[in-house]
Amino acid sequence: MIKIAPSILSADFSKLGSDIEKLDKFGADFIHIDVMDGMFVPNISFGIPVIKSIKKITNIPFDVHLMIEEPSRYIEDFVEAGADIITVHFEADRHLDRTINYIKSFGVKASVALNPATPVDNIKYLIKNLDMVLVMSVNPGFGGQKYIDYSNYKIEEVKKLSDKYNKDLMIEVDGGVGRNNIKSVVKSGANVIVAGSAVFKDNKIKENIASLRGEI
């Protein structure tokens, strides 16, 4: 089954609780939470207090995407805040194997994100120990960007590694996915789709989620 993970970076923060309740009601599989520190990416979003507060109003698993420097410093804090999946970027932590094992030691799922210019081969030896790989199909830091076309080839490469080494791997794609291209993204091998503006556009969360699923 293809999972839809709405990114709350595109939600209306004046009524975030209400939007999350709608995600619960209208069938989101994960809630994708982009944490940015203004260092690893040129933007700042939100952190642990926001995650803790919204965890109280939903049972949807939290897919926490750490776009921060040295994420290993904060893993335990994000677990305590309610993360169910934690994604770290390949470039962000010097000892990535150690960080992945550290994440898994808390009983949560571990994921590595690949920026557009990051080769898939970089995770060849890690992939057996991962629960998910996140293919960034835009340059991280801002919502609403256009999908980078060569991302499909990267998804296909991750799928080949998954078929060979880890058949249970979730392959997530983040950035610029909507009704016009979700079918090709899934065909390339993705099984978790992050959607920001494609879900929250025009405050039609129910219709937008249904529309995305209808294209798969």
Q: Is 89 annotated as a binding residue?
A: no
In which residue are the tokens 């420097």 written?
69
What single letter denotes the amino acid at residue 161?
Answer: L
Q: In whole angstroms, how far apart are CA 137 and each of 146, 152, 181, 196?
A: 8, 8, 12, 13
Please name the residues in contact with 76: beta carbons below 8 A apart, sequence gap of 6 or more.
106
Q: Is 90 annotated as a binding residue?
A: no
- Residue 97 a catalytic site member: no
CA 22 to chain centre: 19
Q: Is 189 annotated as a binding residue?
A: no
Catalytic position from the list 37, 93, 131, 174: 174
Catalytic position from the list 34, 37, 63, 93: 34
Q: Is 196 annotated as a binding residue?
A: yes
Q: Is 19 annotated as a binding residue?
A: no
Distance CA 31, CA 205 (A): 13
Q: Is 17 annotated as a binding residue?
A: no
Q: Are 40 and 136 in contact, with CB atoms under 8 Å apart?
A: no
Q: Is 47 annotated as a binding residue?
A: no
In which residue are the tokens 């209400």 written?
18
Q: Is 176 annotated as a binding residue?
A: yes
- Residue 34 a catalytic site member: yes
Binding site per annotation, positions for substrate:
7, 65, 141-144, 174-176, 196-197
Catalytic residue positions, numbered? 34, 174
User: Residue positions in the annotated binding site for a divalent metal cation?
Assistant: 32, 34, 65, 174
